[in-house]
Amino acid sequence: MYIYDSVQKTKLKFEPIQTGKVTLYVCGPTVYDDAHLGHARSALSFDLLARVLKASNYEVIFIRNFTDVDDKIIAKMQQTGKSLHEITDFYTDRYLEDMDAIGVLRPTISPKATESIDAMEDMISTLISKDYAYQISNGDVYFDTSKDELYGSLSKKVSDDTVSRIEHIFEKKNSKDFALWKACDENENVCFDTKFGRGRPGWHIECSAMIAKHTNGTDEYSIDIHGGGADLLFPHHENEASQSRCATGHALAKYWMHNGFVQVDGEKMSKSLGNSFFLKDALKAYDGEILRFYLTSIHYRNDFNFNEIDLLQSKKRLDKLYRLKKRIVGSGIGAANFEFKTALLSAMQDDLNISVALSIIDDMIAKSNEALDSTPSDKNLKKEIMGNLEFIGILLGFGAKDPFLYFQLGVDEGLKQKIETLIKQRSEAKKQKDFALADQIRDQLNDMDINIMDTANGTVWEKLS
RNA sequence: GGUGCCAUCGCCAAGCGGUAAGGCCGCAGCCUGCAAAGCUGCUAUCCCCGGUUCAAAUCCGGGUGGCACCUCCA
């Protein structure tokens, strides 16, 4: 396994800190709104990573948190009059619903910030007692970045200009210092009691605390891999790494991975630009598997320019896999072809090289079709192909559907009846050698976005796009 | 202002010093009543200019053009 480390900016051979075991922590969502395409991409990137690690025979401890205390949630409480948990429970469920729809496997552990206050309290207390943190007059606790000589080593953003845009707090010792704990305002009802007073956590502490709580680590590192979106490198991960290093005395993660951004029509997708794209909206138009295939078809580190034209182009590639599957359904599953399996896995083990992986799959599809053309009733061949498809499903998370249902996605019962009636009429016309009528019916179906194909087993149809 | 990333066929996209994968689209052929599907074949010298090297899309320098982070954001 090779991984591109975004701190060293180079591809490295992956060597776990404990043989046979991988601890992976990924920054999850703040649950105050529905998941957008960017959340999907991040979740999918690390879902692929977890799948590949598992297929490589590692025991994988995959942690992805839910940030359920935060200023944005508090703002939403004020807007809606709802309680913290009313909001966070609602959006947590909706997040999981969406991720399930695009085939993201559930992490091993999904800690919530509100359930990890004890761990945060421990870490902040440690930092205060080691003199890495200080409390100001209003009760806020700040991390003293000047005490960590390695501060800035993660993101390499150390110039003073960097912090010129960070909010200036008068009592902060250094402009780069960040809040570990925010003291409770009188009118805020989201507060937790700790040794250093009532308040709520700062943005960065939860990840460090959760990692400390849920992993054992070694003398050198807490976890193997830490992941998240590219925007989190600074300041979030820089701060996380720094506070963990100071609290524990060793590095937070051995490898850092960051997924690229999703753009919509060439522009960054963001709240402020007003071009956010919720996954739920995309799921109304396209099946989760089609979105998964599209969103994972481009390497996780590249920027992703989401648009419908490319999505439909990518769907055609998935269609080919399902057409192959249509040819072999019901034949039972055999062992996957060893060479295929090995090639596919090693492509993915090369920093998740999905492009090469997909080309290996395309090659397998072409070879399988060719073999089925020459020996259509070879049962062992069909079983092996089914085995190949099953492996793809496990490793990459697509291709597991019933192939006939796949091509009927978005077709309701009424339309289905109509299609089948038309096909019957056409078959009758063909029998009578009335090809003009047969072709006319086919055109009619094509106008309905239905593609038909005459096979040895009769006429089958597909819904296009 | 500071710090990075990227630029490969009409479109999407691999490539990580050894002589350009794959997909979509297009063209030709086989198959088909005709199609569709499937199969076969065909289609780029890698933004520009220098340099290093026996050898560069790949390394270095300089341009040009995109994008991102430094502020809540995956």
Q: Is the CB of A27 under 7 A from strand B?
A: yes
Helix (H, G, I), strand (E, B) or coil at A68: coil
Q: Select from 3.20.20.210, 3.40.50.1370, 3.40.50.740, 3.40.50.620 the CATH code of A2-134+145-158+204-264.
A: 3.40.50.620
CA→C1' distance for A359 and B15 (Å): 13
Q: Judging by beta carbons within 10 Å of its beta carbon (0-12, 13-18, 19+), is residue A285 exposed, middle or buried?
A: exposed
Q: What is the pLDDT of residue A266?
A: 67
The pair of three-digit structure tokens given for residue A269, joined into one six-digit string = 């997708």
Residues 51-110 on chain A lying near strand B, CB distance under 7 A: 71-72
Q: What is the pLDDT of residue A274?
A: 62
Cis peptide before A376 (omega within 30 of 0): no
> Do the bridges between strand A133-135 and strand A141-143 make them parallel or antiparallel, or are there none, so unpaired?
antiparallel
**Positions of E strands within A273-403:** 304-306
Q: What is the pLDDT of residue A176?
A: 87
CA→C1' distance for A448 and B30 (Å): 30
C-alpha gyration radius of chain A = 26
What number of other Cβ atoms are within 10 A of residue A187's Cβ?
A: 6
* Dihedral sign, Cα of residue A171, residue A174, residue A175, residue A176: negative
Q: What is the pLDDT of residue A456?
A: 87
Helix (H, G, I), strand (E, B) or coil at A174: coil
Residue A144: name the closest of A171, A169, A174, A164 by CA: A174
Q: What is the mean pLDDT of each run of 10 residues along chain A (465 residues)?
A: 92 95 96 94 97 98 96 92 95 97 98 96 97 94 93 77 51 89 82 94 95 94 96 93 96 96 76 74 95 96 92 96 95 96 97 97 97 94 98 98 95 96 97 96 94 93 91
Helix (H, G, I), strand (E, B) or coil at A253: strand
Domain coordinates in residue numbering, chain A: 2-134+145-158+204-264, 317-403, 413-463
User: Assign residue A57 a region: left if phi > 0, alpha if psi is -120 to 50, beta otherwise?
Assistant: left
Q: Which nucleotides of B are covered by protein (CB under 7 A)?
A: 1-5, 11-16, 21-25, 32-40, 66-74
Which nucleotide C1' is nearest A262 CA?
A: B74
Helix (H, G, I), strand (E, B) or coil at A315: helix
> Do the bridges between strand A178-183 and strand A141-143 make them parallel or antiparallel, or are there none, so unpaired?
antiparallel
Architecture per CATH, domain A317-403, reads as Up-down Bundle (1.20)
Terminal Cα-to-Cα distance of chain A (whole angstroms): 36
Q: What is the pLDDT of residue A239?
A: 95
Q: What is the pLDDT of residue A436?
A: 96
What number of other Cβ atoms are within 10 A of residue A302's Cβ?
A: 11
User: Assign residue A442 a region: left if phi > 0, alpha if psi is -120 to 50, beta otherwise?
Assistant: alpha
Residue A242: name the closest of A118, A159, A132, A116 by CA: A132
Residues 375-404 on chain A lying near strand B, CB distance under 7 A: none
Q: Is the CB of A434 under 7 A from strand B?
A: no
The pair of three-digit structure tokens given for residue A411, joined into one six-digit string = 């077709």
Q: What is the pLDDT of residue A188?
A: 72
Instruction: Please indicate whether the domains covering A2-134+145-158+204-264 and A317-403 agree at the CATH topology level.
Output: no
Contact by Cβ (8 Å): A228, A258: yes
Which residue minimizes Cα–C1' distance to B24? A313
Q: Which helix (H) or strand (E) holds A452?
A: strand A450-455
Q: Is the CB of A254 under 7 A from strand B?
A: no
Which nucleotide C1' is nearest A455 CA?
A: B37
Dist. CA A56–CA A345, nearest whole Å? 8
* Exposure b/e, A354-372, CB count within 10 A at least 16 = b: bebbbebbeebbeebeeeb
User: Assign residue A449 a region: left if phi > 0, alpha if psi is -120 to 50, beta otherwise?
Assistant: left
Q: What is the pLDDT of residue A272?
A: 60
